[in-house]
Amino acid sequence: MMRLCLIRHGQTDWNVEGRYQGQSDVPLNETGRAQAACLAAQLQAERFSAVYTSDLQRAAETARILASPQGLPVHTDMRLREINQGEWEGQLVGVIQTRYEALWKMRSANPGSVRPPGGETVEEVSRRVCAALDELAERHPGGRVLVVSHGISIAVAICRAHSMPISQAYNHIPGNTVPIWLDWPPAPN
C-alpha cells in the first residue's frame, strides 16, 4: 500500500477565465506559482519517496516547485494528463454549453461516457490514470508519493479510492494546489 498525495496544479489564466484547458499546454500564472510555493512550505515536513507529474507545463512546474525543498527529482508520466477535451479546449464553459447544447445535455445526464468532439471520455481518463497509479504503488510499496496532476485526473482517482461511480467525477474536482491524501491501491469492492 502506498500513501498518495495528489495535487492539482496551481492556477492558470484559463482557470480564472473559465476556459476548458484539457491537454492544452497552458502555463501557471503568478498566483499559481505562489500557490505552489505556499504548498511547498506546508509540505516541507512530509517525506516523500518520489514525485511524479503530468508532462503538461502547469503540472510539471508545480511539481518542480513542490519537489525542490525535498531535493527530489520530478518524473513525468503522460498518463497523468488532464482529460482531452478535443474541440472544447480553450473555450469558455458558457460557449460550450450553447454551441454544443445537445452534447452538453448528454454529458450532464451521463458524465462518464460522453466524449467531446475529438476528445476522450472520463471513463478513458480513469483507465489511464488508475493504471499509472497502480504502477506507482508497485514501484513504491509502503512509500509516500507526491503526484501533481489535473482536476478530472485526480477526481477519477478519488472516485476509485472511495468506490464511487465514475459518473460522479465532476463533483470531486479539487481546487488548485489542494492536497488529496489517499491510500493506493484502493481495497477491492
Active site annotation includes 123: no
Task: Tell me how far the alpha carbon of residue 106 is from its chain's centroid.
Answer: 23
75 labelled catalytic: no
- Where do we find the cell 489564466? 13
**Distance in angstroms (rounded) separating the CA atoms of residues 97 and 79:** 28
- What is d(CA 84, CA 96) in angstroms, rounded to the nearest whole number? 15
Q: Length of the chain in residues, anyone?
A: 189
Of 61, 82, 89, 120, catalytic: 82
Q: What is the CA radius of gyration of the chain?
A: 16
Among the options 9, 61, 120, 140, which is catalytic?
Answer: 9
CA-CA-CA-CA torsion for 100, 103, 108, 114, nearest 10 degrees? -130
Catalytic residues: 9, 82
